[in-house]
Structure 1
């Protein structure tokens, strides 16, 4: 057996270990028996139960609103942060980029606990806004990491040519820089959206009474015992995440710059 075949078998084995529990959960979300010990028949009952639950609909709405707002705000801040980072000297750039990357690799438990301590110390009420601010904070470094490579890739001669053609700073930003890094911006937005929708650890620390998101709700439901409603809800969340990741992958593969026009 060649090295390539052995590597392929190893990869298949690893993906099987990673995805088998997920597909097992999805499979039993259609079980009419109500347990995960034996498949009695196909049913949509557990999905119907989800869509008939008003409280669960509000939680889904909370999750979507938090994800969209945090992704939008963090994308705006992250884009301008990446542009500012690009303009710095190499040593300063590397230092700030290292600090940015530390936030990405830091355990979510530490970040969540830090925000909880901060909000408690300043007397900030836990709820919608504490979750939103936390999600914005951990999404900004992700956006910076998505946008910065496109900025590094852009030739400084594009900006110089635009200025020679009479473009002011605002026109350079809106007609040269932003169009060039648009794939990175969208990739950063969808990546932040995915992280926000999937986040549990940080949200668990900063959510308050009367407000929760899907990830925290699934955890709470799981603690009460086995229910195939959890399977159905997890399946929906998994499929939504897959769609967002596919969109991110598509946008990250895009390349090329649109034509620049400075005519008024």
Structure 2
């Protein structure tokens, strides 16, 4: 039998090469002692040392992590209750309206979201800085969490809730002991997606950040405008590695959560 060439695999490999080649190029030259991205001279850690010796940059990193963690936690809580509201609303028309409003925020350009939030914060008198950036990150993270949690709610059998109510469980018991454990993988997925979006966001943050407060994405943009510096490469490499660790961590957590849920189902 004649063996056919696996064109889909070749196409997929080509896509990954196109996507990841610039990232690896940037990472390789973060170790270049020559100070340029045109010819690799010798290996050095100097630019990574500069990153960790830059006190202002470390403060910006701390700001970015705090914003990402706080916005992810708050948006996860809001997103879970938003997904519950969409799932258990009675009228289909209202459900479709809520879903459409949620999806519009996801597909809207970041520039439009950033500009509208800037106008809103200026109108209601919120000073641009930590608070405005936190609120903006919560705003664009909530729809992501909703999208991640909704499929898990739809997969959950309604008979579980009916059985819990028949056994005398209160609404709080149903929520904490039946619904939330069943959708835990979706909650973790929403949290990690919100975390990575917050860490990487530039467009929205650029609009709502103020003097004296900034995040890594905005700082990297400012550094890049000043000219080529391999310190940017080193910083970008560290961000990429942190994001990669988060993705791998989510994979193992979701895998473990799925196995735990499977073991808990009576046979």
Aligned to 2:119: 117
- Distance (whole Å) between structure 2 residues aligned to residue 29 and residue 59 of structure 1: 20
Question: C-alpha displacement at 1:123, in angstroms?
Answer: 2.2
Aligned to 1:151: 153
- Distance (whole Å) between structure 2 residues aligned to residue 173 and residue 133 of structure 1: 27
Aligned to 1:60: 61
Counterpart of 1:166 (choices 159, 165, 168) is 168
Q: Is contact 1:146-1:185 (8 Å) kept? A: yes
The residue matched to 2:32 in structure 1 has which SS?
coil
Q: Is contact 1:190-1:247 (8 Å) kept? A: no
- Distance (whole Å) between structure 1 residues aligned to residue 166 and residue 98 of structure 2: 31
Aligned to 1:194: 196
Question: C-alpha displacement at 1:57, in angstroms?
Answer: 0.6
Aligned to 1:185: 187
Question: C-alpha displacement at 1:258, in angstroms?
Answer: 7.0
Q: In structure 2, do the counterparts of structure 1 residues 56 and 236 end up closer, same or farther at CA, with 3 Å as the change threshold? A: same
Q: Deviations over 1:26-63 (max 9, x none)?
A: 00001111111111111111001111111001000000
Question: What's the TM-score, normalizing by structure 1?
Answer: 0.94
Q: Deviations over 1:56-95 (max 9, x none)?
A: 0100000000000000000000001111111113332222
1:217 paired with 2:250, answer no
Question: C-alpha displacement at 1:251, in angstroms?
Answer: 4.4
Question: What's the TM-score, normalizing by structure 2?
Answer: 0.93
* Count of aligned residue pairs for this structure pair: 260
Aligned to 2:99: 97
Comparing 39-48 with 241-250, which one deviates more in the overlay? 241-250
Comparing 93-102 with 79-88, which one deviates more in the overlay? 93-102
- Distance (whole Å) between structure 1 residues aligned to residue 170 and residue 262 of structure 2: 20
Q: Is contact 1:180-1:257 (8 Å) kept? A: no
Q: In structure 2, do the counterparts of structure 1 residues 125 and 4 end up closer, same or farther at CA, with 3 Å as the change threshold? A: farther
Aligned to 1:71: 72
Q: In structure 2, do the counterparts of structure 1 residues 242 and 4 end up closer, same or farther at CA, with 3 Å as the change threshold? A: farther
- Distance (whole Å) between structure 1 residues aligned to residue 72 and residue 184 of structure 2: 15
Q: Which blocks of at least 5 consecutive residues in structure 2 are unaligned?
A: none
Q: Deviations over 1:87-140 (max 9, x none)?
A: 113332222112211111111111001111111222221000000000000000
RMSD: 1.7
Q: Deviations over 1:210-233 (max 9, x none)?
A: 000000000000000000000000
- Distance (whole Å) between structure 2 residues aligned to residue 108 and residue 244 of structure 1: 23
- Distance (whole Å) between structure 2 residues aligned to residue 259 and residue 84 of structure 1: 27
Q: In structure 2, do the counterparts of structure 1 residues 4 and 185 end up closer, same or farther at CA, with 3 Å as the change threshold? A: farther
The residue matched to 2:33 in structure 1 has which SS?
coil
- Distance (whole Å) between structure 1 residues aligned to residue 92 and residue 246 of structure 2: 34
